[in-house]
Chain A
Amino acid sequence: MIGMILKIGILDVQGAVSEHAKSIRNIGAEPVLVKHPESLVEVHGLILPGGESTTLGTLIRKYGLYEPIRERARQGMPVFGTCAGLILLARKIEGQDDHHLDLMDITVNRNSFGRQRDSFEADIEFEGLSGAPFPGVFIRAPHIVTAGSDVQVLAMYQDRIVAARQGNLLAASFHPELTSDLRLHEYFKAVIERQCAAECV
């Protein structure tokens, strides 16, 4: 592991891709834009960025990314979903019969804090992060309504779950990529490093 530069993929269909790429470079990893299934092969982990979840959900199916992402995530590839990315990871979306990647045992409520005029910033106490609270940027944000027994709740805001982890899967309602605080990207990098270490043995 030592001396190896981690390659972290970012789903490059639509949304805040360049912002995540910048954060990934700033933690000393290499961002890889994932537009086609072939690019998935070389990455050690994958970020599902913020964007429009309806659009992203339609297009990952259309561009043949749906099954490859599911397959690699099930084999243990770490995946980090932010905002729309969290909705993509969920098993169930409230008020809808369909779901997207169905990887994480959570039920989500979309736009649960209201429309854009209700979008806000607030400090978040994040389990396992040392130092000051994390600056949470919530934009038409979803929240996790219920989480399965394997899911560890990492952050709450106004009694709602806004960040959680289930093994190799990490999800947040807010946008760490819109801040200069790199602690959540570092957290994800640590998840990838542990996964790589386990696979290399």
Chain B
Amino acid sequence: MAVVGTERVKRGMAQMQKNGVIMDVVTAEQAKIAEAAGAVAVMALERVPSDIRAAGGVARMADPTIVEQVMKAVSIPVMAKCRIGHIVEARILESLGVDYIDESEVLTPADDKYHVNKREFTVPFVCGARDLGEALRRIAEGAAMIRTKGEPGTGNIVEAVKHIRMVQSQIRRVVSMSEDELVAESKEIGAPYELLLEIHRTGSLPVVNFAAGGVATPADAALMMELGSDGVFVGSGVFKSENPEKFGRAIVDATMNFKDYDLLAKISQGIGTPMKGIEMSTLSINERMAERGW
């Protein structure tokens, strides 16, 4: 008897993406460029985060036509975003056959209290997190993959660095605790005790953890790998750069060879200008997407 949608096939799908780069695309042509550059998956969107930021208003799930065109254009997995808590957008994406759903703070949240109960779906989900408590709440809801939130559409890596460092240091802390301290820690960070106990014993998150939100250059991608990410999402960074083909390939090379500094020096040359970035202090609190989600 075949069983679909098990925790193992959902988490396993993300494990197959490790050391890879997942690129945001808004057309079938961009999806083909991403695939040729060596992306392990594409995220089909109507607008990349920097354009969502510029456009303002309510950002929703992409038009299914775009998602279907991207799915037809490439053989690598296709992901798509639904609004936080928008159960029906998620069901529509599942029905379209997307391979992974990102319940994402890049879109305007549909629910101010609850995320989607991801365990009820056959399709796996990835969710953003700023710290261990948030990551484990999402995993408890059924997320099969975690990514840092960073600050999407800024081309500024500082927030993603803050988030991955926070998660790593909290994991180290949980590992070094005695078991009788874990209940208090569970209350402190708002994380389920059973998941903390699992981390205490295994020393790592039970799912793959990618970097996202602000990756703009090959060096940024390599930095996130250096800090312990399992792979990288690049949103606006590829197709808002001067030369997406070259830039995309360089980010893939940098992610897979993040410790080879001679190679990084070589591939960072002659790839054109990266996307224009935004300094964090110029963003007011309600312009920060990472604040969305609970």
Chain A interface (Cβ < 8 Å from any Cβ of B):
13-19, 35, 50-52, 54-55, 58-59, 83-84, 110-111, 115-123, 137-140, 175, 178-179
Chain A residue at minimum C-beta to C-beta distance from B230: A18
User: CB within 8 A of A59: which of B15, B35, B256?
Assistant: B256
Tell whether B3 is near chain A: CB-to-CB under 8 Å: yes
Asked whether A19 and B15 contact (CB < 8 A) given A14-B40, A120-B4, the answer is yes
List 9 other contacts, CB 8 Å, given A19-B15, A55-B20, A117-B5: A15-B17, A52-B40, A54-B76, A59-B252, A116-B124, A117-B99, A122-B2, A137-B8, A179-B8
For residue A110, which residues in chain B have a CB less than 8 angstroms away from its CB?
75
Distance between B267 CB and nearest chain A CB, rounded to angstroms:
11
For residue B40, which residues in chain A have a CB less than 8 angstroms away from its CB?
14, 51-52, 55
User: CB within 8 A of A116: which of B8, B99, B252?
Assistant: B99
B16 & A138 in contact (Cβ 8 Å cutoff): no
CA distance A123 to B16 in the complex (A): 21
Chain B interface main SS type: loop
Distance between B191 CB and nearest chain A CB, rounded to angstroms:
24
Chain B residue at minimum C-beta to C-beta distance from A53: B75
Q: Size range of the interface on B? A: 35 or more
CA distance A197 to B99 in the complex (A): 45
Provide 6 A-B residue pairs closer than 8 Å at the C-beta atoms, listed in order of the A residue: A14-B20, A17-B18, A51-B20, A52-B76, A115-B99, A116-B9
Asked whether A58 and B5 contact (CB < 8 A) given A110-B75, A115-B99, A140-B77, the answer is no
A122 & B3 in contact (Cβ 8 Å cutoff): yes
CA distance A116 to B122 in the complex (A): 9
Asked whether A117 and B75 contact (CB < 8 A) given A14-B19, A16-B16, A16-B18, the answer is no
User: CB within 8 A of A121: which of B3, B38, B257?
Assistant: B3
User: CB within 8 A of A17: which of B2, B19, B94, B100?
Assistant: B19
CA distance A117 to B96 in the complex (A): 10
CA distance A119 to B18 in the complex (A): 18
Distance between B54 CB and nearest chain A CB, rounded to angstroms:
31
For residue B122, which residues in chain A have a CB less than 8 angstroms away from its CB?
117
Tell whether B123 is near chain A: CB-to-CB under 8 Å: yes
User: CB within 8 A of B18: which of A15, A118, A120, A175?
Assistant: A15
Q: In the complex, how many residue pairs between chain A and chain B have their CB atoms under 8 Å apart?
A: 109
CA distance A115 to B80 in the complex (A): 14
CA distance A120 to B76 in the complex (A): 18
For residue B19, which residues in chain A have a CB less than 8 angstroms away from its CB?
13-15, 17
User: CB within 8 A of B16: which of A51, A111, A179?
Assistant: A51
A14 & B256 in contact (Cβ 8 Å cutoff): yes
Tell whether B13 is near chain A: CB-to-CB under 8 Å: yes
A16 & B15 in contact (Cβ 8 Å cutoff): yes
User: CB within 8 A of A58: which of B3, B38, B41?
Assistant: B38
Q: Which of B11-31 contact A (CB under 8 A)?
A: 12-13, 15-20
B13 & A139 in contact (Cβ 8 Å cutoff): yes
Tell whether B1 is near chain A: CB-to-CB under 8 Å: yes
For residue A178, which residues in chain B have a CB less than 8 angstroms away from its CB?
8, 12, 15
Chain B residue at minimum C-beta to C-beta distance from A13: B256
CA distance A111 to B124 in the complex (A): 17
Distance between A172 CB and nearest chain B CB, rounded to angstroms:
14
For residue A18, which residues in chain B have a CB less than 8 angstroms away from its CB?
18
Tell whether B39 is near chain A: CB-to-CB under 8 Å: yes
For residue A50, which residues in chain B have a CB less than 8 angstroms away from its CB?
15-16
For residue B18, which residues in chain A have a CB less than 8 angstroms away from its CB?
14-18, 51
Q: Which of B111-150 contact A (CB under 8 A)?
A: 122-124
CA distance A119 to B76 in the complex (A): 15
Asked whether A52 and B8 contact (CB < 8 A) given A117-B94, A121-B2, the answer is no
Chain B residue at minimum C-beta to C-beta distance from A118: B4
For residue B100, which residues in chain A have a CB less than 8 angstroms away from its CB?
116
A139 & B20 in contact (Cβ 8 Å cutoff): no
CA distance A172 to B252 in the complex (A): 27
User: CB within 8 A of B17: which of A52, A115, A119, A120?
Assistant: A52
Tell whether B97 is near chain A: CB-to-CB under 8 Å: yes
Distance between A58 CB and nearest chain B CB, rounded to angstroms:
5
B6 & A116 in contact (Cβ 8 Å cutoff): no
Distance between B252 CB and nearest chain A CB, rounded to angstroms:
8
